[in-house]
Amino acid sequence: MSHTHWSDSEEISIHTSCWTMSKRTFFLLVVLGFCAMWQKADAQIILDKPLLSGPLISHVKSVEEFYCKLDKITTNKTILYQLFKKGNLNKVLSEYSAHSQEKAKFTLVITLAFDGWFICKASVQNNSEIIPTFSDWMKFKVLVPVKNAHIISSHSLEDLWENDSLTLRCNITEGNYVLYDWFLDDKLHLNNSNNQLIIPSLSSKNKGKYVCVAKNYFNETLYYTDKSEGRDVHVKEYLSQPEISFKIGKNKEGNFSAYVKCQVPKGSPPISYTLFRNNHHVAVVNSEHLNASFVVPIVLDQDMGTVYCQANDSKRQVESRKLNLTVEYLSQPEISFKIGKNEEGNFSAYVKCQVPKGSPPISYTLFRNNHHVAVVNSEHLNASFVVPIVLDQDMGTVYCQANDSKRQVESRKLNLTVESVGGNVTMSLEKAVGQDFDVYGVWLNCHVDKGTFPQYYWFLNNTRLDSQGKFNKTFSPNHSCLMVRLDPSIATAGFYHCEVFNSFDITKRLSSPRILITPEEFNKIPTEVAVIVFTLFSLLICAVLACCIYGVVLRKRQARKYIFRLKDFTDKHSIVDDDGVFNKIEETEDNEYEEGEHDDLDIDSYIEDTDVVQASMMEDIYEELWFTQ
């Protein structure tokens, strides 16, 4: 390992050299500082930001003056002002040398090239070391009045169809800073827009005469305008489905004809209309209108079949619905009405007049107390009228007339008096009994003493029942009848009652008494019925017993009478003489029975069947007759 050793003389020499270099560096820095201070002192002049002013708008060839000024100038040297236009800062439009606080003035003869942005530069003349300053940009307009406005279309205006797009352009030969107003049929359509009017999808509302007005403003009071000539835009519409209808006419000979009308809601004439009857071609009409008419002879109250029409505009063919051409005589109108209540609380009768059959159009006329009230012309078999009324007052009667130009018929008269619900509300009950005589349901009917349009609600334990539930259902249009199915598994037992109100006004309600309905109550045998049945059964037993006793006694009496008659019968005989006549032989005294002997006989031993005895007696008689012959 080697070591380096320095001598004292060598160390002194090194220190001396370092000190010499440090002195030189110090003196160099001092000199440079003085130089910088001298330069700064020479550049102490600082220019403010100049202010450029002048007109904002002018015309070509006008002479205009612009001004530029520094607010504070800290030197007596000459200030050079220069005017430039944005986009070409190397070209000086005008310059002005000013002393002290003098304002620079630039005089320009305006050309169209001056239109744009101006800026003013301020600098010390003949001294490039002083940094120049610039003003803010100033907008300057060179206005050219508009001339020769005219409309150019992107498409031919004679062959435009709906849903096509159209662009109208308003061109001018001269002018700038222009705004455009668009007019359609002399009405403002679009204002202060650009020179294009774009319609992406044409429709019938876009057709008409278009005019554009080009305008540019010099100031609030002075402006220039130019109006173009009008351009007519025709928008052709595609055919829509035709609508078919007819009216009946009668000629001098008394024959009837149907005047059939075929009309398209939209389309572009010329249009060809074709009528078909029962799918057979009838006639063709070429029309410059949106409709055409046909005449078809008909016979009333006979099947005339159906008609329909076709419309064709060479681009599209469409058909109407089929129309029944059968014409019926007007039948007698049916009249009815309902009651309504308006927001003010007043009531009105909505009277409906309807004919069961007929052929529209029909004219309906309403009469009240034989006075004309209103007329309605309808394309339907009915019409409606509104008549103000007062409840519980005599409103008289109404009736209506129907007229189809061939016949006039009248309805019946209808009493327009309306009673609100009132009086007692009662309920009646009917049981539904099954084969085993169990009551499985009940029918409840609710009735109010008065009311023209009553409506009913039903309640179980003060809870309103739906018109049809799990165990109940209401009947009749006003729900006056309720059917209840008695089911122990469902909570059907309880107190039932009904409430009645006017169908047109629910504010007034009347309630019926409540009825308790339970399955057990209806299927239990009443005590009175049980007593009556038991009593009747006992009486029946007594009657049967009495009949048996009476029969035994009567039989014994009949047997005694038979024994007495038997002796009389056997002792009597008859013979036939030679002429074939029976002669009765008188009985001898020896064959007579004594009364005392009959009493000693045992009656029971002679009791026999009556039929057997009679048969034996008849056989004896026949034998006697046989032997006699």
- Give the model confidence (pLDDT) of 102-154 as tens digits: 889 999 999 999 999 999 999 988 887 888 999 999 999 999 999 999 999 98
DSSP state of 332: P
Q: Does the pLDDT at position 32 exceed 70?
A: no
Quickly tell me which residue has 């004594």 as its tokens.
594
Superfamily in which the 422-521 domain is placed by CATH: Immunoglobulins (2.60.40.10)
Element (H, E) at 305: none
pLDDT band at 616 (very low <50, low <70, confident <90, very high): low
Q: Does the pLDDT at position 314 exceed 90?
A: no
Given a contact cutoff of 8 angstroms between Cβ atoms, the answer to whether 249 and 328 are in contact is no
Number of CB atoms found within 10 A of residue 455's CB: 19
Domain boundaries, the chain: 50-143, 150-233, 243-327, 334-418, 422-521
Task: Look at residue 25 in the predicted model and tell me its pLDDT.
Answer: 60
Number of CB atoms found within 10 A of residue 173's CB: 10
- Determine whether domain 50-143 maps to CATH 2.60.40.10: yes
Superfamily in which the 334-418 domain is placed by CATH: Immunoglobulins (2.60.40.10)
At the topology level, CATH places domain 243-327 in Immunoglobulin-like (2.60.40)
Nearest by Cα to 185 from 170, 200, 203, 207: 207
CA–CA dist 534, 547 (Å, integer): 20
CA–CA dist 232, 186 (Å, integer): 12
Task: Look at residue 282 in the predicted model and tell me its pLDDT.
Answer: 93
Residue type, 299: V
- Give the model confidence (pLDDT) of 339-363 as tens digits: 998 888 899 999 999 999 887 889 9
Nearest by Cα to 141 from 193, 178, 93: 178
SS3 letters across 107-166: EEECCHHHCEEEEEEEEECCCCCCCCEECCCEEEEEECCCECCEEEECCCCCCEECCCCE
Domains 50-143 and 334-418 share a fold: yes
Task: Look at residue 534 in the predicted model and tell me its pLDDT.
Answer: 80
The CATH code of domain 150-233 reads 2.60.40.10
SS3 302: coil
- Give the model confidence (pLDDT) of 490-534 as tens digits: 878 889 999 999 998 888 899 999 998 887 666 666 667 667 888
pTM over 0.75: no
Q: Does the pLDDT at position 214 exceed 70?
A: yes
pLDDT band at 552 (very low <50, low <70, confident <90, very high): confident
Task: Look at residue 158 in the predicted model and tell me its pLDDT.
Answer: 80
Q: Look up residue 453 and give its two tokens.
A: 């349009």
Task: Report the Cα 285 to chain-centroid distance in Å.
Answer: 39
Q: Does the pLDDT at position 59 exceed 50?
A: yes
Which residues face 180 on adjacent strands? Answer: 193, 214
Task: Look at residue 50 in the predicted model and tell me its pLDDT.
Answer: 92
In this structure, is the dihedral angle defined by the CA atoms of residues 19, 23, 26 and 28, taken in order, positive or negative? negative
Lowest mean pLDDT among 70-79, 297-306, 503-512: 70-79
Task: Look at residue 289 in the predicted model and tell me its pLDDT.
Answer: 94
